[in-house]
Chain A
Amino acid sequence: MDAFLTSRVVTDILEGIVQGVVIGLVALGLVLVWRATRVLNFALGAIATLAAYLGMGLLSYHVGFWWCFVLCIPFGMVLGGATERIVVRPLYGKPELNPIVAMVGLLFLLEAVVGAIWSTTTRAIPVPFSFIHWTLGGRPFALSPLSVFQICAALVLALAIGALFRFTQLGLQLRATAHAPETSRLLGVRVSRMLTLGWMLSCSVGAVAAVIVAAGFATGLTPSEMEAPFAIGFIAAAVGGLDSPVGALVGGVAFGVIEQFVTDYLNANLVLPVALGILILALVLRPQGVFSRPVARRV
Chain B
Amino acid sequence: MIRVSHLSVFHGAVQALHDVSFEVEAGTVTAVVGANGAGKTTLLRTTSGLVRPRSGSIEFDGQSLVGRRPEDIARLGIAHVPEGRGVIEEFTVQENLRLGALHGKGRFAEGLEDQFALFPALKERRRQHAGTLSGGERQMLAMARALIGYPTVLLLDEPSVGLAPQVTASVLSTVRRLCEERHLTVVLVEQDAMSALRVADRAVVLHVGRVAADDRADVVLADEGLRRYYLGMVS
**Which residues does A use to contact B, with CB under 8 Å?**
169, 172-173, 175-176, 179-180, 182-191
Contacts and interface: CB of A to CB of B under 8 A. Distances in A.
B47 to A, nearest CB: 11
A90 to B, nearest CB: 18
B71 A191 contact: yes
Contact of B70 (A169, A173, A180, A185): A185
B82 interface: yes
A182 B75 CA distance: 15
Nearest to B101: A187
Interface in B28-55: 48-50
A261 B71 CA distance: 51
Given A172-B102, A188-B71, 12 more contacts: A169-B98, A169-B102, A172-B99, A176-B91, A179-B89, A182-B50, A185-B69, A188-B103, A188-B104, A189-B71, A189-B103, A191-B71
Given A172-B95, A172-B98, A172-B102, A186 B88 contact: no
A221 B110 CA distance: 53
Contacts of A183: 82, 86, 88
A187 B91 contact: no
A187 B141 CA distance: 13
A184 B88 CA distance: 9
B100 interface: yes
A143 B99 CA distance: 44
A179 B71 contact: no
B48 A187 contact: no
A179 B91 CA distance: 9
A185 B50 contact: yes
B74 interface: yes
Nearest to B142: A183
A24 B75 CA distance: 38
A185 B48 CA distance: 10
Contacts of A182: 50, 70, 82, 86
Given A172-B99, A172-B102, A176-B99, A186 B86 contact: yes
Given A186-B48, A186-B80, A186-B86, A175 B91 contact: yes
Give the interface size class of chain B.
20 to 34
A177 to B, nearest CB: 10
Contact of B90 (A179, A184, A189, A190): A179
Given A182-B50, A186-B70, A173 B99 contact: yes
A175 B82 CA distance: 19
Contact of A188 (B50, B75, B82, B90): B75
A31 B198 CA distance: 49
Nearest to B131: A293
A247 to B, nearest CB: 14
Specify which of B69, B71, B95, B104 lies most central, judged by the most chain A CB atoms within 10 Å of its CB: B71
Specify which of B49, B70, B79, B89 lies most central, judged by the most chain A CB atoms within 10 Å of its CB: B70
6 contacts: A179-B89, A186-B74, A187-B74, A188-B75, A188-B102, A190-B71
A180 B89 CA distance: 9
B145 interface: yes
Contacts of B103: 187-189
Interface string B61-74: 00000000111001
Contact of A189 (B48, B49, B91, B102): B102
Contacts of A169: 98, 102
A185 B74 contact: yes
Contacts of A190: 71
Contacts of B88: 176, 179-180, 183
Contacts of A188: 71, 74-75, 102-104, 149
Contacts of B75: 188
Interface in B72-125: 74-75, 79-80, 82, 86, 88-91, 95, 98-100, 102-104
A187 B99 contact: yes
Contacts of B48: 186
A173 B100 CA distance: 10
A176 B89 CA distance: 10
Listed from nearest, the 7 A-B pairs whose CB atoms lie closest are A188-B103, A183-B86, A185-B70, A188-B74, A188-B75, A185-B71, A186-B80
A179 B99 CA distance: 13
A187 B90 contact: no
A173 B48 CA distance: 19
Specify which of A175, A180, A188 lies most central, judged by the most chain B CB atoms within 10 Å of its CB: A188
B228 to A, nearest CB: 33
A185 B80 CA distance: 10
Contacts of B91: 175-176, 179
A190 B70 CA distance: 9
Contacts of B49: 185
A94 to B, nearest CB: 18
B145 A187 contact: yes
